[in-house]
Chains A and B, each alone.
Chain A
Amino acid sequence: MHNQTVTQLAAALKSGELSSREITAHYLQRIERLDGKLNSFISVTAEQALNGAEAADKARAAGDTHALAGIPLALKDIFCTKGVKTSCGSKMLDNFEAPYDATVVEKLSAAHTVSLGKTNMDEFAMGSSNENSHYGPVKNPWDLTAVPGGSSGGSAAAVAAGLVPAALGTDTGGSIRQPAAFCGITGLKPTYGRVSRFGMIAYASSLDQAGPMARSASDCAHLLNVIAGHDVRDSTCATRGVPDYTEQLNAPLSGLKIGLPKEYFGEGLNADVERAVREAVKVYESLGATVREVSLPHTHYAIPAYYVIAPAEASSNLSRYDGVRFGHRCEDPKDLIDLYTRTRAEGFGEEVKRRILIGTHTLSEGFFDAYYIKAQKVRRLIRQDFLDAFEDVDVLMGPAAPTTAFDLGAKKDPVSMYLQDIYTIAVNLAGIPGMSVPAGFVDGRPVGLQILGTHFAEAQLLNVAHQFQQATDWHLQRPALAEENA
Chain B
Amino acid sequence: MALEESHVRRAAHLARLAISDDQAGRFVDDLSQILDMVDQLQQVNTDGVAPLAHPLDATQRLRADEVTDTNQRDEYQRCAPAVEDGLYLVPRVVE
Given A97-B79, A99-B75, A336-B91, A361 contacting B31 (CB threshold 8 A): yes
Check if B81 sits within 8 Å of A301, measured CB to CB.
no
Check if A377 sits within 8 Å of B46, measured CB to CB.
yes
Query: Which of these, A323, A329, A364, A377, contacts B11 with CB under 8 Å?
Result: A364
Chain B residues, CB < 8 A from A377: 44, 46, 49-52
**With the chains together, A364 CA to B7 CA distance in Å?**
10
Chain A residues, CB < 8 A from B63: 232
Given A98-B79, A374-B42, A354 contacting B34 (CB threshold 8 A): yes
Check if B37 sits within 8 Å of A236, measured CB to CB.
no
Query: Which of these, A357, A380, A432, contacts B50 with CB under 8 Å?
Result: A380
Query: Which of these, A193, A324, A383, contacts B90 with CB under 8 Å?
Result: A324
A363 to chain B, nearest CB (A): 9
Contact residues on A (Cβ < 8 Å of other chain), bracket: 35 or more
Given A308-B38, A336-B90, A455-B56, A381 contacting B19 (CB threshold 8 A): no
B58 to chain A, nearest CB (A): 7
Query: Which of these, B1, B14, B55, B78, contacts A429 with CB under 8 Å?
Result: B55
| B72 beta carbon closer than 8 Å to chain A | yes
Check if B56 sits within 8 Å of A357, measured CB to CB.
no
**With the chains together, A430 CA to B42 CA distance in Å?**
20
Chain A residues, CB < 8 A from B34: 307, 354, 358, 414-415, 418
Given A97-B79, A99-B76, A192-B55, A307 contacting B27 (CB threshold 8 A): no
B6 to chain A, nearest CB (A): 11
Check if A374 sits within 8 Å of B58, measured CB to CB.
no
Interface mask (A329-363 → B, CB under 8 Å = 1, otherwise 0):
10001111111111011001000011011101110
Given A336-B91, A415-B37, A235 contacting B60 (CB threshold 8 A): yes
| B80 beta carbon closer than 8 Å to chain A | yes
Total A-B Cβ pairs within 8 A: 175
Check if B60 sits within 8 Å of A357, measured CB to CB.
no
Check if A304 sits within 8 Å of B40, measured CB to CB.
yes
Main secondary structure of the interface of B (DSSP, over half): loop
**With the chains together, A93 CA to B41 CA distance in Å?**
35
| A375 beta carbon closer than 8 Å to chain B | yes
Check if B16 sits within 8 Å of A341, measured CB to CB.
yes
**With the chains together, A96 CA to B79 CA distance in Å?**
6
> Which chain A residue has the least Cβ–Cβ distance from B17?
A344
Chain A residues, CB < 8 A from B40: 300-301, 304
Query: Which of these, A95, A333, A373, A418, contacts B91 with CB under 8 Å?
Result: A333
> Which chain A residue has the least Cβ–Cβ distance from B59?
A235
Check if B11 sits within 8 Å of A360, measured CB to CB.
yes
Chain A residues, CB < 8 A from B90: 324, 333, 336, 339
Given A358-B31, A361-B31, A374 contacting B18 (CB threshold 8 A): no
Check if A99 sits within 8 Å of B72, measured CB to CB.
yes
Chain B residues, CB < 8 A from A303: 37
Residues of A395-427 whose CB lies within 8 A of B: 413-415, 418
B90 to chain A, nearest CB (A): 6
Check if A304 sits within 8 Å of B41, measured CB to CB.
yes
Contacts beyond the supplied A206-B53, A381-B49: 10 A-B pairs with Cβ under 8 Å: A301-B40, A325-B77, A353-B19, A354-B27, A357-B17, A361-B11, A379-B51, A380-B50, A383-B55, A415-B37
- For the complex of A and B, the 6 pairs showing the least CB-CB separation, nearest first, are A431-B55, A376-B51, A377-B46, A380-B52, A329-B81, A345-B18
Pick 8 A–B contacts, CB within 8 A, sort by A.
Answer: A96-B79, A301-B41, A333-B91, A339-B91, A344-B15, A353-B17, A361-B3, A380-B50
